[in-house]
A and B are shown apart, each in its own frame.
Chain A
Amino acid sequence: MLDGLKERIYKSAQIHQSVGVIVPVSNYSDLYETIMMQMLGSKQDLWMYVSITKTYDTITRSYKEFANKPNIFFIDCISRAAGISQKADNCSFIESPVMLERILMEMMHAFRERKTEGNTYIVLDSLSALMIYNNVETVKEFFQHFVNKTRAENIHCVSVVIEEEMDDHLNKIIFLNEKIIKVKESFI
């Protein structure tokens, strides 16, 4: 079933420039695993994972293979804000999840530095987490820039929202994507 979800998201991301994934909190870990598996299985595609939910250390402790994948890059918005000091060649650590312009800078720099013959993908995990640290209007504006910049650079983006945290604002933000996938319990 997870394979089905993986295929659904990957196919949508290949076809559409921006995909929003609405997932129930009970299935978030399944979605997370799906995305990790997709990234690890990718050879030619370039992947970037922007994490506002887990630290880089947490991710790589569970998936040690990431250390040997030059086509995968992380932007960790959590570690430094949590007082965790770390360095890694395949990760950029941003001072705080409030510094949204830094996310855009790191994203643009990382993709320009790395070339690929395949597609380029970026995962934003998650918009719900961004709302914890930032004002609604700031997140709306940031996401508009995010979608526009990725569109201009032909980067396919996948952004995650937790269903239980959906409100009018998140609803408007997530629908800036070209395609929406609603993950249901039955899907998994």
Chain B
Amino acid sequence: MSEAELETKEEEEKCQTGIEEMDIQMNGGIPVGSTVLVVGSSGSGKTTLCMQYLVNGAKLGERGVFFTITEPLFKLTKNLEGFDFYDRKLIETGMVNLIDLRIISERLGLDAEKYSVEDASALLDVLKDIAEELDVKRLVIDSITALCYRLQTREMIRDFIFKLGTSLAAMSCTTFLTSEVPPRTFKYSQYEIEEFISDGIIFLGDVERKGDLIRTLQLVKMRGTAHSRAKFAMNISTERGIELMPLLKS
């Protein structure tokens, strides 16, 4: 295979987020089939990033599903309607599917607080079935922290994320899992397992400059592609969604 052919092949195997600077920093995008942890504290922009990722994918013809545990669907939709990148037609045509995981858990008869091994297995099967039936190429779980809270042991957490990631990778589905961490801590997850199973980590933080808080984004890890580890200033606007610019170092 020639160098040009190799380059084209590599581009085709990348999942573009549609956020220009981010795709540039990952040499074209996220390797298809990856499980990526989107880490951040409250208000850091995790949900917005994940939703923009799904919407951008839908515009490229890639169907996506957003599983929410932390926010009810009506609230999620209401917050998203404020963004220009949000297109109601994508929801109506099924290119972006919003599903409340708590309702699924209820229907499966799962305990709201703690999942047994069988419960976790049943939930995993449902997630896989939905992804397969809808033929999704992009999947978001918001948040994996809330899900892990219900899994009783570290082994169950590791097992769940590993099996989920493996099944979705086999469907060429690229997955974002949001991970909630306390502000200003150098942690990638609550249970300190999620980041080891994931193929990638996108860290959303903030820096203080003269009393003002500036949102930041950093690619900590992304298996399968060369990527920048520089920290970027991140802006979220209703008109343009997420934008990045290298953070001034001084």
Known contacts A99-B214, A101-B214, A134-B210; is A141 also within 8 Å of B247 by CB?
no
Residues of B within 8 A of A102 (CB): 233, 235, 245
DSSP majority for the A interface?
Answer: helix
Interface status of A104 (Cβ within 8 A of chain B): yes
A137 to B209: give the CA distance in the assembly, Å: 13
Give the distance in Å from the alpha carbon of A95 to the alpha carbon of B213 in the complex: 11
Residue from the list B210, B243, B246 in contact with A145, Cβ < 8 A: B246
Q: Counting CB contacts under 8 A, is A109 at the interface?
A: yes
With A and B bound together, what is the CA distance between A154 and B13 in angstroms? Answer: 34
The yes or no answer to A170 lying at the interface (CB within 8 A) is no
Question: When chains A and B are docked, how far (Å) is the Cα of A138 from the Cα of B211?
Answer: 15
Is B214 a contact partner of A138 (Cβ separation < 8 A)? no
CA–CA, A18 and B70, complex, Å:
50
State whether A96 touches B248 (Cβ < 8 A).
no
* Known pairs A100-B248, A142-B248; A105 contacts B243 (CB<8 A): yes
- Contact partners of B240 in chain A: CB under 8 A: 109
Contact between B250 and A137 (Cβ–Cβ < 8 Å)?
A: yes
**Chain B residues numbered 188-224 whose CB sits less than 8 Å from any CB in chain A:** 209-212, 214
Q: Is A135 touching B250 in the complex (CB atoms < 8 A)?
A: yes
**Are B212 and A101 in contact, CB atoms less than 8 angstroms apart?**
no
Contact of A101 among B211, B245, B250 (CB under 8 A): B245
User: Footprint of B on A, CB under 8 Å?
Assistant: 95-96, 98-102, 104-105, 108-109, 133-135, 137-138, 140-142, 145
Query: Which residues of B are at the interface with A, using a C-beta cutoff of 8 A?
Result: 209-212, 214, 233, 235, 240, 243, 245-250
- Listed A/B pairs (28) with beta-carbon separation below 8 Å: A95-B212, A96-B210, A96-B212, A98-B209, A98-B211, A99-B212, A99-B233, A100-B248, A101-B214, A101-B235, A101-B245, A101-B248, A102-B245, A105-B235, A105-B243, A105-B245, A108-B245, A133-B210, A135-B250, A137-B250, A138-B209, A138-B248, A138-B250, A140-B250, A141-B248, A141-B249, A141-B250, A142-B248
